[in-house]
A and B are shown apart, each in its own frame.
Chain A
Amino acid sequence: MGNEKVTGALVERNLMRDSLQLMKISEELKKLDGVIDAIVAMGTETNKEIAKQLGLLLPEVEKAGDSDLFIAIAAKEEQSLKKALEKAKELLSAPISGGEMEYVDIESALAALPDANLAIVSVPGEYARDVTMKLLEKGIHVHLFSDHVPEEHEVELKKYAFDRGLLVLGPGAGTSIINGKAIAFANAVRRGPIGIIAAAGTGLQEVSSLIHNMSLGVSHGLGVGGGDVKNYVGGIMTKLALSYMEKDPSTKIITMVSKPPQQETLNSILEYAEKNTTKRLVLGFMGKVEMDLPKGLKGRTSVARTLHATALESVRLVSPYIYEKVKDEYTIPFDKLNAMLKPKYEKLKSSQKYIRALYTGGTLTSESLMIFDLLGIEVYSNAPLKGQKKLEDPFKSVGNTVVDLGEEEFTAGRAHPMIDPTIRRLRLIEEAKDPEVAVILMDFVLGYGSHPDPAGAHLDAIREAKKIAEKDGRHLVIIGYVLGVEGDPQGFNEQKRKLEAEGVMVLPTNAISALAAALSALRGKLNDNRVREIYEGYLKASAE
């Protein structure tokens, strides 16, 4: 057969390593001669599930706990297996530092860079307050990437900072753009007149990249963290960010991107904006949000319900001319979209009816769920919107499924799927085996922080998925959304080209990609009224 393989595993008790380092070691091992597959990871349930899918849940791996590190390898023969296990141990004991000057505490770092004006903090959530407070006391603004920061710590930090005019961007802030520089997960967006305040990380990435691709730019993009628009925080940093944008001479309009704020917080943010700003506002709250616009905001505020509309409206306000030029390219008219997809969906068998959307971006997931909801498509998700069904097992799709692979259950002890494509590669192949699947939708998020070649890292899996379907006489419609700009380290055009070469359809925005997925699964037969409502009410903003 030539398919023989040997497997082996090692468990190191109580050895902690950062998930990124472990991913790199796994990749390194896979490149060794005679190695078929390898996984080096902490023994969390998520990682054991991955090991299982790779056929590497060996008895010793099964016994590993959260704080144990395991190495599991499949090789063609004993000699390669032994060598790979030895190599793994060697890589694990190598020093982490790259030999450059690095510090072990804030004080010595401050001594080396006494005029620091920003810090990025990504320590475990329970320690974030102590570290952040030390920096704030020195007058340094903080982008707080850490998750799981206790709510009372967030409130304490933000109140302290607000009183001193200091920004605390986060916790849980994936993205900021300051002075044209990408902070954490962000894109190489050119500078321009649009200031963005975002309580949604991939939301900021999507809106800023679209603005760039429509040939405008962003003054600054401040990620305030999802908690900021909830009542326990009450929009403290959203308000300070509004003041910053108001005073900033390069910011001409202020765009907000967020899931719908809780009611009380929404009211207090609007009241604050009325009193403390004079600039034109775009409120990009995802979905239909009931709001009483204060008098002072009327006549200078636009309301957008999708990331798509938020970007287009921001562009329209700055340049009606550019807007007119690009609007049909981005908001592809329905008939044209249908004509583009028809040759693909006509190849589907009648038994193929479901959409499987495999997302890495949380806000992109919500935007697509909203589009499916508006079209009356019943959908399951691990992060469902109100009224939608929750997936019983996030690792298993049923019916139409939209899964956010960046959620906790997929990231415990692992790098985020924007960095480590393993989970999605495996999931894609699983979806291809299901004879009822018609459409697969995936996002490819480029930019700093992300995988160096997300499209390239999925090509093998895409080919395999197509092969599985073809063997069974099926064809799959695969839609890929590439979020990013040409100047990103991965290069937008190159990523798009790689996907298109595999027959993946690449569309200009996430919202249009979701619409295209629905259109394909339903063979173009969407309810006219609902389509009109999406185009008029959701892909376009309303000026109040």
Chain B
Amino acid sequence: MSNARKLFDEDLKVINVGLKIFYEDLKRQGVRVVQVNYQPPPKLEKELKDKLSELL
């Protein structure tokens, strides 16, 4: 039932979603990291989506 990936004592491989400073700091430490420049969905779209998932 668990698909949890191994974390302790494995090489860290990181997805950084948001503040770029964390991405840069991990790079400085030699960690493999990719950056996601997250853009929030437009408000209306999110509200519609939330309503939809409530209904379904």
Contact = CB atoms under 8 A, between A and B. Distances in A.
Contacts of A109: 15, 17, 34-36
B34 A448 contact: no
A116 B8 CA distance: 13
Contacts of B15: 106, 109-110, 113, 116, 118-120, 135, 140
B12 A179 contact: yes
Given A115-B13, A123-B18, 10 more contacts: A97-B37, A106-B15, A116-B5, A119-B14, A122-B16, A127-B38, A163-B1, A164-B1, A181-B29, A183-B26
Task: Point out which of A115, A124, A163 has the most chain B C-beta atoms below 10 A from its C-beta.
Answer: A115
B54 interface: no
Given A100-B35, A106-B15, A123 B6 contact: no
B23 to A, nearest CB: 8
A181 B40 contact: no
Interface in A93-108: 96-97, 100-106
Q: Which 5 A-B pairs have the closest CB atoms?
A: A122-B18, A139-B3, A448-B25, A117-B5, A165-B4
Tell me the interface secondary structure of chain A in the complex.
loop
Interface residues of B, number: 38
A248 interface: yes
A189 to B, nearest CB: 12
Interface in B1-54: 1-22, 25-26, 28-29, 31-41, 46
B28 to A, nearest CB: 7
Interface size class of A (residues with CB under 8 A): 35 or more
B5 A140 contact: yes
Contacts of A183: 22, 26
A340 interface: no
A178 interface: yes
Interface of B: 1-22, 25-26, 28-29, 31-41, 46
A186 to B, nearest CB: 9
A449 B14 contact: no
Given A140-B5, A181-B12, A250-B9, A489 B21 contact: no
B14 A118 contact: yes
A371 B4 CA distance: 42
A131 B41 CA distance: 11
A184 interface: yes
A259 interface: no
A102 B19 contact: no
A282 B13 CA distance: 31
B6 A117 contact: yes
A123 B21 contact: no
B37 A118 contact: no
A287 B54 CA distance: 44
B18 A121 contact: yes
A334 interface: no
A428 interface: no
Nearest to B41: A127
